[in-house]
Amino acid sequence: MMGFDRSDVELLAGGAQEFGVFYERHVDAVAAFVGVRTRRPDLVFDFVAETFARALEHRGQYDAERGPAVGWLFGIARHLLIDAARRGRVAADSRVRLGMTRITLDDDQLARVEERAQLDLRVALTDMPADQREAVIRRVVLEQEYPELAEGLRCSQQVARKRVSRGLAFLRRGLEGQL
């Protein structure tokens, strides 16, 4: 597919085709992130769909200075999961605003979603170098800003950013290798 050599920033600034490349680049990681938290393929599908709908809707708000795009997507998914636990349902606000119709999945499609959701983040994290793992967990899971992250890691903000970036790239490669 055309565009895989382009950065996430370039893809988010582009049109529908570029966003499609962005989606393909990160969908497995987002499905694995959500799949660890809910084992129901239908819910994984809804969370992933809303995560990417929100990313599409708010793509102008992505700031590469704050970290890699996959971390931004994990943050969106995390907030959706928290909101769903509080409300008792998966939000569809962005999908509705964007005019996306509800998709009904057949058994084969649900099986594919389940396969993506069962990618083991723990295995990928275990294989990751310790300094990168700690940086990714602090930034993505604990949502630490880079000044706090750098202080906790006892390094410069630039080094902290690089560890997060390399860790997320390592994680994406590891998840792709599980397919």
Could you report the per-residue pLDDT of 92-137, keeping only the tens digit for each?
A: 665 555 566 665 555 665 566 566 555 556 666 777 888 888 888 7
Q: Could you give the CA distance from residue 62 to residue 73 in angstroms, rounded to a whole number?
A: 10
pLDDT at position 1, please? 46
Walk me through the domains of the chain, giving residue ranges and CATH numbers: 1-119 (no CATH), 120-179 (1.10.10.10)
Q: What is the pLDDT of residue 2?
A: 53
Burial bucket for residue 36 (CB in 10 Å: 0-12, 13-18, 19+)? middle
Q: What pLDDT score does 139 carry?
A: 82
d(CA 115, CA 36): 12
pLDDT value, residue 92? 64
* Dist CA 23 CA 17 (whole Å): 10
pTM of the model: 0.58
pLDDT value, residue 9: 92
Of the chain, the end-to-end C-alpha distance in Å amounts to: 18
Cα 100 to Cα 80, 91, 132: the distances in Å are 18, 13, 37
> Alpha helix locations (H) across the chain?
8-13, 16-35, 41-57, 69-87, 93-97, 107-117, 121-127, 130-136, 146-153, 157-178
User: Which regions in the chain score pLDDT beneath 70?
Assistant: 1-4, 39, 89, 91-124, 174-179
What count of residues does the chain have? Answer: 179
pLDDT at residue 5, rounded to an integer: 77
Other CB atoms within a 10 A radius of the CB of residue 81 amount to 18
